[in-house]
A and B are shown apart, each in its own frame.
Chain A
Amino acid sequence: MNKKKNQWKAWIYLLPALIVLAIFTVWPIINTLRMAFSNGYTYAKELKYGAFSFSFGFENFVSVTSYQGFTTCLGNTLLLTVLTVPISTMLALLVAVALNSIKFVRKTMQTIFFLPYVTNSIAIGMVFMAMFTMIPGVKATDPYRSIGIINSIIEAFGGTRISWVNSDSSKAANLAVLVIYIVWNALPFKILVLLGGLQSVNKQYYEAAKIDGTSRFRTFWRITVPLLSPMIAYVIITGFIGGFKEYSSIVGIFGNENSGDSMGPTGSPERWNTMVGYIYQQITAQHHGDASAAALILFAIIFAVTMVNMYVSKKKVHY
């Protein structure tokens, strides 16, 4: 009797959450599959001809993958992920180890390194944009009024200025800015997790290494890294997932008032478009079938990468 009553009660408690989840999580999963595999699906067509007027097939996937813009998006996403994840992980590891071996001003340093996390990635993207951008003169022929703080620093050290984000900038220069910004943005979380891991490492291992006269470098590779490997695996996996969903950092740097979703310098708004950017374009263009197909491809990539990462870490990670 009592148990039955409890069963009924539990569902009452869960009801609000389940209703919202059913509409905004479960239904979208089913509907995305349906839309992706309905040839030439758009919502407008469904309203006009009914839900059963589409034939089952892979046409959306074909149209998405054969579209050149999509290949660019996929390439950009891969490039940014492959560059930023290793750089930010290595830097975060170094900072975390350094933070763990100092005493004086450690708390302050920890706070400083966490600051980029509690910022708005669009807002700070605009600051990075301002730091790298060159402000042209009144007429196109006039010299630049200001070449931006970063170029000024470069010239102060005897380098030559680079057009980082202006309309005449090269892909490589854009990439450098994006990587710097994304790494800057990704550091705090990774440092936090790795430092947390370091602080829970048993000090005895280090004492043993000290007695044996092991060098610092060897201690780092043979003790710190293996003991920290679960945390390293964790930040790499979450880094990859975040990397494949890169969008707002790029909008922060390149977005402008005419099109808040510009994904490249003025004149080439598609240059740094990503998978997520592509999906949003398709939503706005009402191509729901294509958007769904692209979203499923994104999910498949994330799923595959996560599985590979887990498989590798199972072999390499020491628990």
Chain B
Amino acid sequence: MTDNINEKEVTPEVIEDAAEQDAKSKVMKEKDIDKVSKKQLIMKIAVQTGLYLFLGIMAIIVLFPFYWMLISSVKTLNEYNSTVPTLWPKQFRWSSYAVAFTGELNLGRLFLNTCIVGIVSTILSLIVTVLSAYAFARFEFKGKNVLFAALLATMMIPGELFTITNYVTVSSFGWLKTYTVLIVPFLVSVFYIYLLRQNFMQIPNELYLAAKVDGTSDLKYLWKVMIPLAAPTLISITILKMMGSWNSYIWPRLVANDMAHKLITVGLRGESFKDMSGMVDYPAQMAAVVIVTIPLFLVFLFFRKYIMRGVSRSGIKG
């Protein structure tokens, strides 16, 4: 297309002609540019339509399971089991949600257990993480770099390798079927320490020296200056840690599979959701799944920025 325009460039031989020719070529050029931009416009529209079509289809695929979960949870068992599935419930039945709370599943208890473990482990984990990140970011001590590198290296080891020994360890401590066993072994996350240390290091040293001159103690400086400045990272850590408790399955199932300490995911997968006749009551099951899923969605909607920031750096789910 660029060639086209070049061809039309005329070199006038006679001066009188020149103006005329020039005007002519200008008109032609404009015409061509019009043509080109029209073509481009059509191309652009076609490409944009294609993009939206592709994204739309992908979005439907991504959303469909959520949609199916929601509508299934309010269907009657008969409608759910009908030969022709309905895409919108003929009649809404909310009692499945009541069943999830009152039935064998005992969602209330599972919620309570998960909240206790989630909140306590998040608070303790934050304290430990802040203290360690502070030590790594602000203090000079022998072996600091070696220690930090060694900690980072442990991140490469799959968690299952630790689980074998930890299971033996917690049994010999007598911790099986307690809250402690769900909280303490995962208190320290090298990744969080790393994340927070990077954030702490960005805070200029001058602030620290100024605080020292004013006679501020290290702890006070940490509390009054460092923590407020690193608040976004701390919020990311809090949310990721809470989500981790909510989603953890393997370890809790191994060490605390009793009703008094069971966490929500373990309870959900271990429940049969059968009705009197032994049929699986899928609406009840889906209602329970909705109840487990919705809190995560709400947290996500409110803290979108913090979650995405934390996640993009980790690659760790839960």
State whether the Cβ of B293 lies closer than 8 Å to any Cβ in chain A: yes
| CB of A86 closer than 8 Å to a CB of B | no
- Please judge, given known A-B contacts A115-B300, A299-B161, whether A257 and B270 are in contact too, CB under 8 Å: yes
CB of A1 closer than 8 Å to a CB of B: no
Query: Do the beta carbons of A130 and B168 come within 8 Å of each other?
Result: no
**How would residues 177 to 213 of chain B score, 1 for a CB under 8 Å from any chain A CB and 0 otherwise?**
0000000111110100100000000000000000000
Closest to A196 in B: B312
Bound Cα distance A157, B82 (Å): 19
A256, B317: Cα distance in complex, Å: 23
A64-72, A169-177, A277-285 - interface stretch: A277-285
Among B22-30, B127-135, B228-236, which stretch is in contact with chain A? Answer: B127-135
Residue contact A283 to B167, C-beta cutoff 8 Å: yes
Q: Which residues of chain A are near B193, meaning CB under 8 Å?
A: 17
B51 touches A102 (CB 8 A): yes
CA A276 – CA B164 in complex, angstroms?
A: 11
Q: Which residue of B lies closest to A118 (CB)?
A: B300
B149 CB-CB contact with A under 8 Å: no
For the complex formed, measure the closest distance between the CB of A30 and the CB atoms of chain B, giving whole angstroms.
9
Given contacts A23-B169, A257-B271, contact A32 B164 (CB under 8 A): yes
Interface centre among A25, A124, A251 (most CB of B within 10 A): A25
Q: B164, A213: Cβ atoms under 8 Å? A: no
> A113–B55 Cα gap in the complex (Å)?
9
Asked if residues A247 and B293 are in contact (CB atoms below 8 Å), the reply is no
Within 8 A of A (CB), among B277-297: 277, 279-280, 282, 285-286, 289, 292-293, 296-297
Shortest distance in angstroms between A192's beta carbon and chain B's nearest beta carbon?
Answer: 5
Whether A130 and B282, one on each chain, are in contact in the complex, defined by CB atoms closer than 8 angstroms, is yes
Flag if A118 contacts B307 (CB, 8 Å): yes
* A111 smallest CB distance to B (angstroms): 7
Q: Does B72 lie at the interface of the complex (its beta carbon under 8 Å from any beta carbon of A)?
A: yes
Query: Does B123 sit at the interface, judged by CB under 8 A?
Result: no
Q: Which residues of A contact B (CB under 8 A)?
A: 3, 6-7, 9-11, 13-14, 16-17, 20-21, 23-25, 27-29, 31-32, 35, 43, 91, 94-95, 98-99, 101-102, 109, 111-124, 126-128, 130-131, 135, 138, 144-149, 152, 184, 187, 189, 192-193, 196, 213, 216, 234-235, 238, 241-242, 244-245, 247-248, 251-252, 255-257, 260-261, 276, 279-280, 283-284, 288, 291-292, 295-296, 298-299, 302-303, 306
Do residues B85 and A152 form an inter-chain contact, with CB atoms below 8 A? yes
Picked from A23, A115, A187, A303, the residue with its CB within 8 Å of the CB of B66 is A115
Give A299 Cβ to nearest chain B Cβ, in Å.
6
Pairwise interchain contact B59-A112, C-beta atoms closer than 8 A: yes
Return 27 A-B CB contacts under 8 Å, by A number: A7-B142, A24-B169, A28-B169, A98-B54, A102-B48, A112-B63, A115-B62, A118-B243, A118-B296, A118-B297, A120-B247, A120-B268, A123-B289, A126-B268, A127-B65, A146-B83, A149-B85, A152-B84, A213-B1, A242-B317, A245-B158, A247-B250, A255-B269, A276-B158, A288-B164, A298-B161, A303-B156
Chain B hits for A14, CB < 8 A: 131-132, 135-136
The closest CB in chain A to the CB of B138 belongs to A10
Known interface pairs A120-B247, A124-B65; A146-B154 also in contact (CB < 8 Å):
no
Place the interface of chain B in its size category.
35 or more
Set of chain A residues within 8 Å of B277, measured between Cβ atoms: 138
Decide yes or no whether B266 CB sits under 8 A from chain A.
yes
Rounded to whole angstroms, the CA-CA distance of A13 and B188 in the bound complex is 13
State whether the Cβ of B259 lies closer than 8 Å to any Cβ in chain A: no
Q: Identify A276's interface contact among B160, B246, B285, B315, CB under 8 A.
A: B160
Q: Which B residues are CB-close (under 8 A) to A234? A: 315
- Nearest-CB distance from A270 to chain B (Å)? 18
Tell whether B18 is near chain A: CB-to-CB under 8 Å: no
Question: Cβ of B82 and Cβ of A32 under 8 Å apart?
Answer: no
Complex interface: chain B residues within 8 A of A238 (CB): 315
Contact assessment for A102 and B52 in the assembled complex, using a CB-CB cutoff below 8 Å: yes
> In the complex the two chains form, what is the Cα distance from A118 to B247 in whole Å?
10
Q: Judging by beta carbons under 8 Å apart, are B160 and A113 in contact?
A: no
Contact B247 A10 (CB under 8 A): no
- What are the 9 A-B residue pairs with the smallest beta carbon separation, nearest first? A257-B272, A10-B139, A28-B165, A238-B315, A13-B135, A17-B132, A295-B161, A28-B162, A118-B300
B3 to chain A, nearest CB (A): 10
Q: Is B13 an interface residue (CB 8 A)?
A: no
Q: B134 is contacted by which of A13, A98, A152, A255 (Cβ under 8 Å)?
A: A13
Query: With contacts A28-B165, A279-B160 known, what are 20 further pairs, Cβ within 8 A?
Result: A16-B131, A20-B184, A24-B169, A24-B184, A29-B162, A98-B55, A102-B51, A112-B59, A114-B300, A120-B246, A120-B247, A123-B268, A124-B65, A127-B286, A189-B315, A192-B308, A241-B158, A241-B315, A260-B270, A279-B163
Interface residues of B in 215-234 (CB under 8 A from A): 218
